[in-house]
Amino acid sequence: MIFWRGTIVAVLTLLAIPFVAVPRASADTREQTDTAAAARRMLGQLKVAKALSIRGYSHRRFQPRWAHHKGTCNAREMVLARDARRIRKNAACHPVKGLWYSPYDGKWLKSEKKVDVDHVVPLAYAWRSGARRWSQAQRRAFANDLTRPELIVVSHSVNMAKGGQGPQSWRPPRRAYWCRYAISWITVKHHYRLFVTRKERVALLNMLRTC
């Protein structure tokens, strides 16, 4: 059998190249894992208690209307613009065109009429977790918070299905979002020092296992 000199050189060159293992986890995955670990620590710091009564709750106790954050733009309009692709707004800051992705159920939506700005920790659930003891100003700040991961654009249908439920009774239909949902929920509750129930804590830990 005849081997060409070029072929021999090529083979020897390949044999000399050291084997480099391909990382199993991407940078994004490692970041999510670190964030999940931080969320577990925060969850461990939350008080565990029985849910308070819903008595006295009203949406208006938190949000008689969306608060204005920038000029004529209110918090809802800011979130719609933040989470959209190819957004177009009118002079009053209201979106008239855009494309939105709902991470709860994986739907792409082209109409603003088909999306909602969801409170990750529902207002009624926050009320039963300690917010009933807050001042009106504290509740209003919570309902319009653009700093914490409390406000997110989702499809109207999935938001209606969620209602005021906690993670022990409702989770996003799209399992791939469970990790991010649990992290967001814990981050919000930890910042506002809202307590969790035992079943809620177990449900959050189970979702963090998907990270």
List the Cα angle 155/96/121 in 5-degree steps. 35
| pLDDT in the model for residue 96 | 83
Closest CA to 185 of 66, 42, 13: 42
Residue 91 domain-assigned? no
Residue 16 domain-assigned? no
**DSSP 3-state of 59:** helix
Q: Are 75 and 66 in contact (CB under 8 A)?
A: yes
pLDDT in tens, 125-161: 999 999 999 999 999 999 999 999 999 999 999 999 9
pLDDT in tens, 31-67: 777 789 999 999 999 999 999 999 999 999 999 899 9
Chain Cα centroid distance, residue 48 = 22
State the pTM of this model.
0.84
For every residue of 114-152, DSSP letters joined together read: GEEEEESS-HHHHHHTTGGGS-HHHHHHHHT-SSSTTEE
Residue 151 domain-assigned? yes
Give the confidence band of 6 by pLDDT, cuts at 50, 70, 90: very low
Residue 122 domain-assigned? yes
Residue 182 domain-assigned? yes
Residue 107 domain-assigned? no
Closest CA to 183 of 28, 31, 43: 43
What's the total number of domains in the chain? 1
Beta carbons within 10 angstroms of residue 87's beta carbon: 16
Residue 203 domain-assigned? yes
Distance of alpha carbon 130 from alpha carbon 195, whole angstroms: 7
Look up the domain containing 126 and give its range: 26-67+115-208
| pLDDT in the model for residue 41 | 96
Residue 53 domain-assigned? yes
